Structure 1
Amino acid sequence: MSAGSGDRAGVRTLLRMRTREGCEERFEEAWRAAAAEISRVPGNLRQELVRDADDPRTFLITSDWVDRAAVDAFGRSSAREFLTAALRDLREDASRSTYEVLYEVPGDRGPHVRVDIRTVVGPGEEELFERAYRTTVERLRGTPGLIREELLKEPAEPIYHIFAEWETEQDFTNWVDDPSHADQTATLVRWLSVDFDRRLYEIRYRPPEHGSGDGGYAPPPPRTEPPRAMPAPTPVPVPSAPVQEFVEPPRTAPAPAPAPASPAPSPAPPRTGRADAEVLVVGAGPAGLTHAIELARRGIAVRVVDKRSEASTQADKAIGIHCRTMEIWEDQGIAAEAMDTGIWLHGQTVFVNGVQTHQVDWSGLEELPYAHLGLPQYETERLLTARLLTAGVAVERGVELVGFDQDDDGVTARLQHASGEVEDARARYLVGCDGAHSAVRTGLGLGFVGGLSMFPQLFMLGDVDVDWGAAPEDVPPGHLLRWVRIEDDGAFTGMLVCVPLKGRRRYRIATLAPQRLQETIGSGIVPAGFWQEYEPPTLADLQAAVDDLGPPGTTASNLRWSSIFRIKHGIVDRYRSGRVFVAGDAAHLHPPAGGQGMNTGIQDAWNLGWKLALAVRGLAAPGLLDSYDAERRPAGKAIVDRAVAIAFTDEMDMDDEKAQFLLEMQMTMNYAGSPLVGQAADDAGFTGGPEPGHRAPDVHGLRRFGVAHDLRLFDLTRGTHTTLLLAVDADVPREQVLELEKLTAAVRQASRGQVRPYLLADAAARLPALVDLPVLRAPAAFRAAYGLAGGDPAGPAGYVVRPDGHVGFRARPVTDDALLAHLGRVFAP
């Protein structure tokens, strides 16, 4: 055990208590009386009472003790009984923990706020983590508003807590939001990425310490509004993954803050707009366009508005299309045109401190319908806009959401047109796909939470031609190239990423802005999302970055576009509030690593589209719309966390390059924990295959009578319907087939025609003539892919494949009760 200094605490106990409603003041009074008794217990050094800033009924009681023996003695004392009796009738629940105090940064005391940061440190990294922490706190000395910090470790667990005390919440916010402090936290931030949690507490009262005349603290005045979600320390990101995603902010002044949710005074009288839509989609980026396409395909009256007067037409934003997105585009009918427009990305090569450490080839994954495509986002938006137009929906540009209200029957949105006219538009549902500065997110009051949820950084981008100099053979064509510099203390001090674009020798260059530009722009608070404040970097600025980290002799030329901007990252606390939803950048902001933001937003829209269409048509079960948040928010948080973690490592997972690639491409992203998925199978049911919530894989070689060519399984699942796959082997009895025929009639009725059943039979199976089921002969590859190899001892198997291509339910043997019970969770009775 290592205490801070002098008579500071060696052991700390934390008692978390949640009071009964309306008992907060009585709880504080009872604690003060009990604290006076505890202060007389031998070995007690001090006590604190703090309150959760986000939940005024949750308190944290902190007690510092000389050693563990003093804590044990207190547990047997009358003072402990006094505390228990005083608080027993005022609390709902409580939990207690004991920690060893490892390190402390002393400072002045006062009525402050306390930030508790919890993180898990990997095996064998404890000493390195503690050394990095000491380095960080030395750099933090003199930070305005910082009183002190302490590092605590949970006994016998690799879990650490950083307790930081600040003069005010605003001091802490200002420090976190200022990108100039990145150098202070560079050595520590690699541990504050995925398994990470942060809580903010108000210090309500602290009794005087022994030998001191200090009095307690008076509670601060009550809040008049909820506290804002608190950001975390700023890392120095190092992008790493199959493709980069970057954002070109506007070349003009910073974008204005989103309008409040309540209607603002309009510059012109309201007008009656076009006929009310069933769904209003705000934002015509990839997420908004994808969602509108899915609604329009299903016959839903959808309206799409975007405040941009013109669509993007040059280099901006994401430039990578994941394999899973290509599958979605095949279903939507734009995959072929996307391939003709884009460029295939073949792999990634990584250099650390000038030495090649990794080279991964992404080709050769024959089980994937598509590889990894490079395509600028303005081309993505062009393709999706054209596809939406074929469904009869045109994007209304120059139309901005300035406020909205919702009631039991729908949403009233106030839309301001370019002419200044304001329209009150009515819709049954509102979907916010309006990006990083989302007015919908602001109107709902959604906060950012989780992980390194809000950290800023200054990036520099450019679209240039690159000549690799004397050794171009060292740079494989079609590869994403990444150079990083890591100091001996583990700090990342430089990065350069070059992503191929269509055209010979053309690349998108991304790098951290140099110190010269950092000093030029200074510091200050950075709002959520992407933000431009500065003149674009010059070709000389980009060349300097190439000279610093790239291969010797490399030159950049023909600058077409460049940008310098700040970025923040995070995920909102919920994706739905009543009849209003958020998706894409309105719901989650990603580090510029892996091209995750745009592709994840498309997945959001894909997931919500079929569910919202069923709800509009009155075909959705009561909990179906809730499953959007239940499925997509955990997926979004996992992707944000992984993108952050990737940003702080110089290595890829070389033990299984294929598994890492599939994860980055969202091919193995799943909804296994969703309340909407399940299975019914005995021990002999499935030998493998996709589990409930996982992506249903494609299979080639299916045959259907009357069709001369082979079919794919995706030919059956493609479209807006749910698919029921019923599989039987060569020895299936005639009676079982007839039972399946009856079952499918019940399924059609229960889903009101939303489920299409197919019988996938072994080539040797003898089936009844004219069975009332679409029949296909399935190859052995199907039974292997879906875990049905080795005969059919358990009877026919069934897979329900949702419209988004994920397995909703599987059973073997198939029974009416289990299958219909699952469908009852999706479709209205």
Structure 2
Amino acid sequence: MTDVLIAGSGPTGLTLACDLALRGVAVRILDRRTAPHRESRGKGLLPSSLEVFESLGVAEAVTAAGSQDLVLRKYFDGEHITDTPMGDGVLIGQWQIEQALRDRLAGLGVRVEYDCALAAVTQDAAGVRAELADGSVVPARYLAGCDGGGSTTRGLLEIPFEGSTREEPAMIVGDVRAPGLSRDFWHQWFTSEGGGILLCPMPGTDSFQLQAAPEPDGMGGCLPASLEGFQRIFDRCAGVPGIRLTDATWLSSWRINVRVAARMREGRAFLAGDAAHVHPIAGGLGMNTGIQDAAALARTLAAALADPARPDLLDAYEAERLPAAEEVVADTERRWERVVDAVRTPGRGTEVGRD
């Protein structure tokens, strides 16, 4: 029987798998996707996450692949106002973080099993039975749901996801190329009319992560993310002649979700990362909070597996991480409000979300 079955191979699930495997725990990690993605998504590692990665033996790989000296260049109504160092941490695409963790995990003899979607979960005093969409059953002593904000695991465990979600998107995002635009800066254009567009060069690639306020559709809603829309917003907010955005490999809309799971444990099953909490992106705390969840859950499960006569050891994870999640959600709401207010002032930008 597998000691720990992990659903989801994002940074949270992969961190948990590496940590447990290094402790000699028998682990399997499943993902409903058919293959790894190559999207920038969460793009910043804080020092606390690098400390975790140092213990896993992946800090050197992600630091080498990322950037630590990027400068935020702020513009207002098309005029260059000021430059600000990015600050502590490492800028790196989420797909590159996941690749480094997968490589480390493979070196420990564990590989992600793709096209494996959870369909049902049952459990008793001895363990968990996870039924997959193909009808197969995976028995394990414990289950960790690290499968994102739309967590199937959380739904199967019937754990409420308490909070709110705004209907309209607050931002459209994507990965694009912008030939001719300097890659020495994270460009942040804002306007007195309230619009804005950000283009951040992703290390190790020729692409930028784009973030922008969505376009109104004229009927009270917003247009979906598209390359054509990105170009219109760029021309309006940046006004840099000769720059044509191309090769959109990721297009998405981001809504403000402020939710925390009512509990992070149901018997022998646990939630971590976005499966347990989602919040505004200000400060770049989402992925990093999930990495901290994974480190705490690894400690808890390793202790419980080493001393099965002490089921009370399982209480430690939720006791530590649920209050932390609630504080992060409240904190990022405050940070988001500061960012929204700050970008109306020339020379200020997303860096205030890290204050």
Normalising by the smaller structure, the TM-score range is: 0.7 to 0.9
- Going from structure 1 to structure 2, the CA distance change for 1:647 and 1:351 (only over 3 Å counts) comes to farther
Tell me the residue number matched to 1:465.
178
State the one-letter code of the partner of 2:132. Answer: L
Tell me the residue number matched to 1:329.
53
Q: Tell me, yes or no, if structure 1 residue 480 matches structure 2 residue 186.
A: yes
Distance (Å, rounded) in 1 between the aligned partners of 2:291 and 2:70: 23
Distance (Å, rounded) in 1 between the aligned partners of 2:270 and 2:212: 34
State the one-letter code of the partner of 2:216. Answer: Q
Select 1:549's aligned residue among 237, 248, 258: 237
Deviations 1:194-250 (A, max 9, x none): xxxxxxxxxxxxxxxxxxxxxxxxxxxxxxxxxxxxxxxxxxxxxxxxxxxxxxxxx
Greater gyration radius: 1
Q: Tell me, yes or no, if structure 1 residue 442 matches structure 2 residue 155.
A: yes
Q: What is the CA-CA distance between 1:637 and the residue it aligns to? A: 2.5
Q: What is the CA-CA distance between 1:423 and the residue it aligns to? A: 1.8
Distance (Å, rounded) in 2 between the aligned partners of 1:394 and 1:611: 23
- Structure 1 stretches of 4+ with a deviation exceeding 4 A read 349-359, 503-506, 619-623
Distance (Å, rounded) in 1 between the aligned partners of 2:277 and 2:9: 17
Percent identity between matched residues is 31
Q: Tell me, yes or no, if structure 1 residue 616 matches structure 2 residue 315.
A: no
Q: What is the CA-CA distance between 1:334 and the residue it aligns to? A: 1.4
Q: Which has the higher contact order (CA 8 A, sep 6+)?
A: 2
In structure 1, list runs of 5 or more residues that go unmatched: 1-275, 364-370, 488-492, 524-532, 653-659, 666-829
- Describe how 1:358-377 pairs up with structure 2 within 5 A: 359-362=83-86, 371-377=88-94
Distance (Å, rounded) in 1 between the aligned partners of 2:341 and 2:184: 21
State the one-letter code of the partner of 2:11. Answer: P
State the one-letter code of the partner of 2:232. Answer: A
SS of residue paired to 1:338 = helix
Q: What is the CA-CA distance between 1:281 and the residue it aligns to? A: 0.8
Q: What is the CA-CA distance between 1:591 and the residue it aligns to? A: 2.7
- Is the 2:9–2:30 contact (alpha carbons within 8 Å) kept by the matching residues of 1? yes
State the one-letter code of the partner of 2:229. Answer: D
- Describe how 1:155-170 pairs up with structure 2 within 5 A: none
Q: Tell me, yes or no, if structure 1 residue 580 matches structure 2 residue 269.
A: yes
- Describe how 1:75-474 pairs up with structure 2 within 5 A: 276-312=1-37, 314-351=38-75, 359-362=83-86, 371-416=88-133, 420=134, 422-450=135-163, 453-458=164-169, 459-465=172-178, 467=180
Q: What is the CA-CA distance between 1:616 and the residue it aligns to? A: 1.1
- Going from structure 1 to structure 2, the CA distance change for 1:343 and 1:393 (only over 3 Å counts) comes to same
SS of residue paired to 1:281 = strand
Tell me the residue number matched to 2:255.
567
Deviations 1:662-713 (A, max 9, x none): x949xxxxxxxxxxxxxxxxxxxxxxxxxxxxxxxxxxxxxxxxxxxxxxxx
Deviations 1:633-675 (A, max 9, x none): 22222223333333233339xxxxxxx89x949xxxxxxxxxx
- Describe how 1:789-828 pairs up with structure 2 within 5 A: none
Determine which structure has the larger helix proportion and give its number: 2
Count of equivalent residues = 344
- Is the 1:466–1:507 contact (alpha carbons within 8 Å) kept by the matching residues of 2? no
C-alpha RMSD over aligned residues: 3.1
Distance (Å, rounded) in 2 between the aligned partners of 1:541 and 1:562: 14
Distance (Å, rounded) in 1 between the aligned partners of 2:332 and 2:269: 27
SS of residue paired to 2:197 = strand
State the one-letter code of the partner of 2:234. Answer: V
- Is the 2:175–2:207 contact (alpha carbons within 8 Å) kept by the matching residues of 1? no
- Is the 1:460–1:513 contact (alpha carbons within 8 Å) kept by the matching residues of 2? no
Deviations 1:385-429 (A, max 9, x none): 11111222222211111011122222111123xxx3x12222111
- Is the 1:455–1:568 contact (alpha carbons within 8 Å) kept by the matching residues of 2? yes
- Is the 1:353–1:484 contact (alpha carbons within 8 Å) kept by the matching residues of 2? yes
Distance (Å, rounded) in 2 between the aligned partners of 1:636 and 1:431: 17
SS of residue paired to 2:307 = coil
SS of residue paired to 2:63 = helix
- Is the 2:143–2:268 contact (alpha carbons within 8 Å) kept by the matching residues of 1? yes
Q: What is the CA-CA distance between 1:447 and the residue it aligns to? A: 2.2
In structure 2, list runs of 5 or more residues that go unmatched: 344-350
Tell me the residue number matched to 1:501.
202
Deviations 1:56-103 (A, max 9, x none): xxxxxxxxxxxxxxxxxxxxxxxxxxxxxxxxxxxxxxxxxxxxxxxx
